[in-house]
Structure formats: C-alpha cells, structure tokens
Amino acid sequence: MMDLGRLRALHAVAVHGSVGGAAAALGFTPSAISQQIAKLERETRTVLLERQGRGIQLTDAARGLADTAQRVLALVEQAEVTLEEQRGRATGRLLVAAFATASRGLLPGALAELHAEYPELEVRLLESDPYPAAELVARGEVDLAVVQDWASVPLPVQDGVNRLDLGTDPVDLLLPVAHPLAALDAVPMTELRGQRWTSVPPGNICHDWLLHTMREIGEEPDVRYQVGEFESQIALIAAGLGLGLVPRLGRGPLPPGVAARPVTPRPFRRVYALWRTQTSRRPAITTALDVLRRHWDALDLRSTPDATSARPPAT
C-alpha cells in the first residue's frame, strides 16, 4: 500500500516542476519532500526523479504515477469534504494562494480572524501571481485563491472552478511631485504617452495590463524598471526615475516627493476568490469566503489621503 503523503509529494513535484516548489506549496522543507520521494521510490522499486543539470525531471513512470495520484487525491478530498460537512464546522487544512498586495492588504486581518475563531482550521498562505494561482486551484494544489484581473486582460479560469467577486481596486498614477503632470487634478490617459515606466516583470498580469492599456492609446510603453514589489516601484518613482500605475490595495503612505493622481478614464482591477466547485459544501471554504467578503467590505479603497495632498513646488 503506497503512502498517501508520499503520493501527494510526488504530485506536487509534478505540478510545480521542482522539489522546492512542491515544498513551498505543501508547507514542508525541500529536504522533507526529497525524503518522501526517496521512500516512495523504495516502496515502488522504481526510479521517480532523475538529475537534469541543476534541477530534476520526472521519469515516465513517475509521470504516470503522478497522474494516478491526482485522481486518488481528488477522491480523498471529496471524502474529507463530506466528513467536514457532516461535522458542520471549519476544520482541517486550508491552503490559500493570493497575489502580493492582497497578501499584504486583505489577508492578514482575514487570516487572523480565521485563526482566532476556528482553532481546528489550519490555514496556510502561498503568495502567487493570479496566472499560476488559478491553475493551482483547478488542479487541487490549493483550496482557495484570491486573484485579480482587468476587464481588458481577463484571467483564464478552467471549468469546475467557482468565483466570488469581492470588489474593484482603483489605480492611481504615481509620479514625482516635480513632474509636470502632477500639476493636474486628474490626468487624461492620452497624456501618458512618451513617459518612462516602472512595472512588475513580464509574465505578471499587471504587466500585461500596462502593455495593453498603453497600446490602446497608440503607445509602446518604455518600461525601464521591472521590479516585483510595488514598494520598490514607488521608491524608483520617488527617485525621479519614472511613473507607475499602482493600485490602492495594500499600498502604504506615499513617501515625500511622490504624488498620486487619478487617471481618466479611471482604471481599476477586479478582485475575486476562486475555489473548486466540488469543495463548495466544505465549511472551511464557505467560512473563509464569508470572512474574506467582510474584510474586503471593511476596506476603504475609494479615497486615499495621498491622492491630492502632494503638489509640485511653486515657481
């Protein structure tokens, strides 16, 4: 009889493509995942992982076993959902994926409430861009994902995945106070041609949105600085190196020298939660969704004290 935990470890390696990625998703160390795979190899008398340069690859036998593991884990999950539903309370493990600013601006309060009110529920958080997060939900690697997209760049979501809309997150133009556009109360999108930009790196949905938005006004944006965190973008803007279109969720007070201005027409991103349809009856899912909705409703993203306070120096 093969151990379920070892099958789960193999499946995670197949999904994430590395021992490190599997460890991060399951909440273990890479060493623990390697040990699980080694034990599974001894159990099955089969080589499952092979070295390839600095990384690893699954053997053909491992890929077949990982596919079987996926089906087995889906059956186990359904049994766990049924048992949890019968108990009528949120229990077990809940793995949540969320994009960076949701992890900072929404999840801390929501997860703290779940931790305090539901001690039998073990919640884990994995930071992830929406593209892989949506796939992780569909494959059963995470239970719930907080994701975002844009009307012009919708997030692909597979069949069998449910969605709860949380709300919209307005986007401001952040720019140095001395920049000529900072003198405007609102900046028309067409005035953004010919600027230097900061942005998240390619492959991120916000980067795709910036390219699409600027191309709609006939501009191929000059993205000079590609950094993963909005705080790093803001630091570059404060140094006078470029402009940024930055959402409000999870954004702290702006440093001196940085102004925030609304853009017309007003851009915003959509924020929502995803989970698999087959887990919709699970109390941990319904409870977490309720908590997320209440914490989102408590946010005040409609106004920001930084939006009009900073003005260019008088001449």
**Which stretch of DSSP H or E encloses residue 196?**
strand 196-199
Joined together, the tokens standing for residue 57 give 């690859």
Nearest CA among 228, 152, 244, 262 for reference residue 195: 244
Q: pLDDT digit of tens for each residue in the chain (315 aa)?
A: 788 888 888 888 888 888 888 887 777 888 999 999 999 989 888 899 888 877 788 899 989 998 888 888 778 777 777 766 666 688 888 999 999 999 999 999 999 999 999 999 999 999 999 999 998 898 888 999 999 999 999 999 989 999 999 999 999 999 999 999 999 999 999 999 999 999 999 988 999 999 999 999 999 999 999 998 889 999 999 999 999 999 999 898 999 999 999 999 999 999 999 999 989 988 999 999 999 999 999 998 875 545 444 454 444
User: So what's the pLDDT on residue 86?
Assistant: 62
| pLDDT (0 to 100) of residue 274 | 98
> Hey, is 58 helix, strand or coil?
strand
Burial label, 31 (beta-carbon count in 10 A; 0-12, 13-18, 19+): exposed
DSSP-derived secondary structure letter, 128 = -
Query: Is there a contact between 125 and 27 (Cβ–Cβ < 8 Å)?
Result: no
- Supply the DSSP string of 179-211, one letter for each residue: SGGGGSSSEEGGGGTT-EEEEPPTTSHHHHHHH
Torsion angle, CA of 136/139/144/148, rounded to 10 degrees? 50
pLDDT one-digit tens code per residue, 24-34: 777 788 899 99
In this predicted model, what pLDDT tens digit does every residue of 240-254 receive, in sequence order? 999 999 999 989 899
Structure tokens that stand for 144 in this block: 């719930």
| CA–CA dist 117, 112 (Å, integer) | 9
Dist CA 300 CA 296 (whole Å): 9
Contact 198, 237 (CB under 8 A): yes
Kind and range of the H or E run holding 284? helix 283-298
pLDDT at 243: 96
Say what the pLDDT of residue 90 is. Answer: 84
* Chain center to CA of 138: 14
Rounded distance between C-alpha atoms, residue 253 and residue 310, angstroms: 12
Quick one: which H or E segment has residue 121? Answer: strand 121-127
Distance from C-alpha of 82 to C-alpha of 271, rounded to nearest angstrom: 29
The CB density around residue 202, as the number of other CB atoms within 10 Å, is 10
pTM metric for this prediction? 0.75
